[in-house]
Amino acid sequence: MVKLIYNNVEIERKGLAGVSIKYGGKKICIDIVTDIECDYLLYTHNHSDHAPNVELLHNKYVISPFYGIKVQPGDTIKLDSNITVEVINAYNITKVINGSVPHPKGFGVGYVINIDGKVLYHMGDTDLIEEMAVLRNRKINILFVPIGGNTVMTPEEAADAVMLFRPIISVPIHFVNRRDFVKFRDIAQPYTQVVLL
């Protein structure tokens, strides 16, 4: 498994949109469906490719819009003396499947995690939405950006998100087609360092 190590933060991609973040002996997992032995489990929404059955989450430290510590956009949670989590809107505005929006407003979230001054943003399943503009002047070190289209941003839309935020590193998630990665990388690379995990 390929790992990214950035200023003592160790990151692995797991599954479709899952991310494991290790720092200072703590492990934060976002949208990990299997291998959920983590100190903190964060879920953006409850689609089966993003979250396990809730029975598996009993006796775990879970933050999500549907189980455990239930959050909504605007909330901030302190996980540790040096780790905070901000909850951000994540929803679709241009995607419709079989007549319905796969991720309507209020269904899911994204997370901005601050670890000792290092800022990581997992966008969740979303389009590029106006509420994200509040983050445009924040220094984002690592952006986990969905690029697969269909129910999330297309590679081109994801590149627009990179141009808005100008993160140091962008890790594409939520894609299965390598062509989507190549297209995203080729557009976004001048504005960020794209890392494939």
Torsion angle of C-alpha atoms 168, 174, 155, 85, degrees rounded to 10: -40
For helices 155-165 and 178-188, give the axis angle rounded to 10 degrees.
Answer: 30
For the segment 105-144, what is each residue's pLDDT rounded down to a tens digit? Answer: 999 999 999 999 999 999 999 999 999 988 989 999 999 9
Please name the residues in contact with 21: beta carbons below 8 A apart, sequence gap of 6 or more.
9, 10, 11, 27, 28, 29, 30, 113, 115, 120
The token pair at 46 is 């409850």
Topology annotation, domain 4-194: Metallo-beta-lactamase; Chain A (3.60.15)
- The whole-angstrom separation of Cα 82 and Cα 13 is 23
Q: Which amino acid is at 22?
A: K
Angle at 144 between CA 41 and CA 46, to 5 degrees: 45
For the segment 31-87, what is each residue's pLDDT rounded down to a tens digit? Answer: 999 989 999 999 999 999 999 999 999 999 999 999 999 999 999 999 999 999 999
Sketch the domain layout of the chain as residue ranges. Answer: 4-194
For the segment 138-197, what is each residue's pLDDT rounded down to a tens digit? Answer: 999 999 999 999 999 999 999 999 999 999 999 999 999 999 999 999 999 999 999 999
The token pair at 24 is 């200072």
